[in-house]
Amino acid sequence: MTDKKGSKANKQDNFSEWYSQICGETGAKLVDLRYDVQGFIVHRPWSMRVLRKIYSFFEEEVEKDNHEPMLFPTVIPEEHLLKEKEHAGFTPEVFWVEYAGDKKLEKRLALRPTGETQIYPLYSLWIRSYNDLPLKGYQSRITTFRNEMTTRPFLRGREFMFFETHDVFETHDEAVSQIKKDLIMMKNTIRDKLKIPFLFFQRPKWDVFKGADETFTSDSILPDGKRIQVSSTHDLGHNFAKAFNVQFVGKDGKRSYAFQTCFGPGIWRIFGTMIAIHGDDQGLMLPFCVAPVQVVIIPITFVKDPEASKKVLELSKKLESELKNLNYSVLVDLTNKTPGFKFNEWEMKGVPIRIEIGPRDLEQNQVTVSARTSKEKLAVKINELKNKLPELAEQNDKVLEETAIKYFKDNIKNAKTLDEVKSIIKDHRGFVRIPFCSVMLDGKKCAEKLKTETNGVDVCGFLFEKEEKLASSDTCAVCGKKATKIVYAAKSV
């Protein structure tokens, strides 16, 4: 990876430049930014192959939870977008379609910023009685559009990859149960498969999704210390049900408004976070399950020894076929590049396992194997390779997981006062855990003061899974009043 001056960026010292390099032409070639509309990017094959796997993980999870796939149009009638009072706050971020050819439309259409206002008018037609509930639907492999002022590939953009569930229930208890299931799905995918650590927060009342009663988010930490939201689940209560008349006739014969939730794992941001947390100065480091190529075979051939080179190529292709039959994603690199160039290229792309085969390996009936997470090279007998690969795959993921967990824990600090927060934030990257007066609307003034006096530190929320105990002497780190919650604060992407 090289910067504009031709030098290589260091992840620790210059995360922003490192990230740009790794995504672009001098790195893993994940995107092309030369598309002539600012904030809209071209996804190149390597990133698309990873992103499709992330989509498939969530599709599998939600379908196990009895969600059914559906697909709605990209455009939303303006009156639908404005129907729910709070949700109408999206309008400054919306892209509008006003013409069809050279004729102005009678009613302008919004490019989907999120799915509630396009889906719920139809839910009001699909749902008639309690027998129609629960209704669980999801949209996958779609894009949404928001007029973001600043953009960066996979972290913030004007068109980005999207996944959303929209659920309808008879009771609020069922809605709360779904929120807990959404958390489990995040654990099963981004924590267990992708090795991304996160905290699951309930947001303070002044920072909930437009139109929601409560908002819950999965937040992680980037190497520059900023928190990044990688999923959100919203308890919508009756807000959208009342706006779009989503009602059902209950067992008692009475009509009632339904309870609703929606869940949005940020496909784009999950990928961007995975790049940021696992990558190193040599490039991407990918969990084995998501790597487009899990094993790359690099034949070492010599022009002066065509017979040996031929045997190397034959063995390389034979191993490729055998490993594919074992359901590995394998590629033999037959390009006319030097071995050193190939090593660097596949390291940059984050391929977990590399196999080198040269004439000397043939003589000893072995191959040379290395994992992306280790500098060590191993000589492995050919007949032992099939047994060795699962061990190396497990090692790859274990290193990623242990490194990420340590990094995450090291980036959570404690503070009791505003001065302590200010002191910590000068050098600390990540979350600061503080006692706080209130997560209801009356706490907003303290949150605003915290943000102003720390140059951008936000109250992210409090842990959903467990109630963190306060000491009897704990007071709000900002105003000094009696604390009611432990909250986590950080600068945001």
Tokens of 244: 């779009």
Nearest to 265 by CA among 224, 211, 219: 219
Asked whether the predicted pLDDT for residue 121 surpasses 60, the reply is yes
- Phi, psi torsion values for 173, nearest 5 degrees: -60, -40
Cα 58 to Cα 53, 104, 124, 399, 415: the distances in Å are 9, 39, 26, 24, 36
Domain boundary among the residues 366, 399, 432 is at 399
Q: Give the contacts of 177 (CB within 8 A, at least 6 positions apart).
A: none
Place 33 in a pLDDT band, splitting at 50, 70 and 90. Answer: very high
Asked whether the predicted pLDDT for residue 1 surpasses 60, the reply is no
Averaged pLDDT for residues 371-389: 95
> In this structure, are residues 194 and 274 in contact, taking their beta carbons and an 8 Å threshold?
yes
Does residue 166 sit in the same domain as residue 208? Answer: yes
Place 426 in a pLDDT band, splitting at 50, 70 and 90. Answer: confident
- Residue given tokens 């306060």 in the structure block: 470
Does residue 385 sit in the same domain as residue 464? Answer: no
Place 62 in a pLDDT band, splitting at 50, 70 and 90. Answer: very high
Does residue 465 sit in the same domain as residue 350? Answer: no
Asked whether the predicted pLDDT for residue 405 surpasses 70, the reply is yes
Asked whether the predicted pLDDT for residue 86 surpasses 80, the reply is no
Cα 54 to Cα 50, 191, 270, 272, 404: the distances in Å are 6, 12, 8, 12, 19
Asked whether the predicted pLDDT for residue 396 surpasses 90, the reply is yes
Residue 10 belongs to some domain of the structure: no
Asked whether the predicted pLDDT for residue 302 surpasses 90, the reply is no
Does residue 426 sit in the same domain as residue 388? Answer: no
Give tens-digit pLDDT for 99-111: 999 999 999 999 9
Residue 17 belongs to some domain of the structure: no
- Give the range of the structural domain holding residue 338, as residue numbers without chain letter: 288-399
Place 375 in a pLDDT band, splitting at 50, 70 and 90. Answer: confident
Higher pLDDT, 89 or 180: 180
Tokens of 486: 């432990």
Q: Give the contacts of 214 (CB within 8 A, at least 6 positions apart).
A: 202, 203, 208, 234, 235
pLDDT of residue 90: 74
Asked whether the predicted pLDDT for residue 371 surpasses 70, the reply is yes
Give tens-digit pLDDT for 168-177: 999 999 999 9
Q: Please count the other Cβ atoms lying within 10 Å of the Cβ belonging to residue 250.
A: 13
Q: State how far the Cα of 450 lies from the Cα of 490, in Å rounded to an integer.
A: 10
Asked whether the predicted pLDDT for residue 183 surpasses 70, the reply is yes
Give tens-digit pLDDT for 136-163: 999 999 999 999 989 999 999 999 999 9
Report the CATH number that the domain containing residue 419 is assigned in CATH.
3.30.110.30
Q: Tell me how many domains the chain contains.
A: 3
Report the CATH number that the domain containing residue 344 is assigned in CATH.
3.40.50.800
pLDDT of residue 6: 54
Asked whether the predicted pLDDT for residue 5 surpasses 60, the reply is no
Residue 404 zone, left/alpha/beta (φ > 0; ψ -120 to 50; rest): alpha
Residue 33 belongs to some domain of the structure: no
Asked whether the predicted pLDDT for residue 351 surpasses 80, the reply is yes
Q: What is the DSSP letter of 90?
A: G
Residue 467 belongs to some domain of the structure: yes
Tokens of 484: 């009611």
Q: State how far the Cα of 145 lies from the Cα of 167, in Å rounded to an integer.
A: 22
* pTM summary value: 0.95
Does residue 392 sit in the same domain as residue 416? Answer: no
Give percent of the chain above pLDDT 70: 98
At how many degrees (to 10) do helices 15-23 and 267-278 cross?
Answer: 120
Report the CATH number that the domain containing residue 83 is assigned in CATH.
3.30.930.10
> In this structure, are residues 385 and 357 in contact, taking their beta carbons and an 8 Å threshold?
no
Give tens-digit pLDDT for 205-263: 999 998 999 999 999 999 999 999 999 999 999 999 999 999 999 999 999 999 999 99
Residue 169 belongs to some domain of the structure: yes
Does residue 60 sit in the same domain as residue 117? Answer: yes
Does residue 391 sit in the same domain as residue 416? Answer: no
Domain boundary among the residues 266, 297, 316 is at 266
Residue 38 belongs to some domain of the structure: no
Does residue 252 sit in the same domain as residue 316? Answer: no
Cα 273 to Cα 29, 154, 160, 267, 436: the distances in Å are 17, 8, 15, 10, 28
Q: State how far the Cα of 219 lies from the Cα of 231, in Å rounded to an integer.
A: 7
Asked whether the predicted pLDDT for residue 47 surpasses 90, the reply is yes
Does residue 84 sit in the same domain as residue 183? Answer: yes
Asked whether the predicted pLDDT for residue 7 surpasses 70, the reply is no
pLDDT of residue 83: 86
pLDDT of residue 91: 78
Nearest to 161 by CA among 59, 69, 268, 55: 268
Asked whether the predicted pLDDT for residue 481 surpasses 60, the reply is yes
> In this structure, are residues 222 and 482 in contact, taking their beta carbons and an 8 Å threshold?
no
Residue 280 belongs to some domain of the structure: no
Residue 29 belongs to some domain of the structure: no
Does residue 295 sit in the same domain as residue 385? Answer: yes
Q: What is the DSSP letter of 250?
A: -
Higher pLDDT, 434 or 426: 434
Does residue 126 sit in the same domain as residue 232? Answer: yes
Asked whether the predicted pLDDT for residue 277 surpasses 80, the reply is yes
Domain boundary among the residues 399, 433, 464 is at 399
Does residue 116 sit in the same domain as residue 170? Answer: yes
pLDDT of residue 427: 81
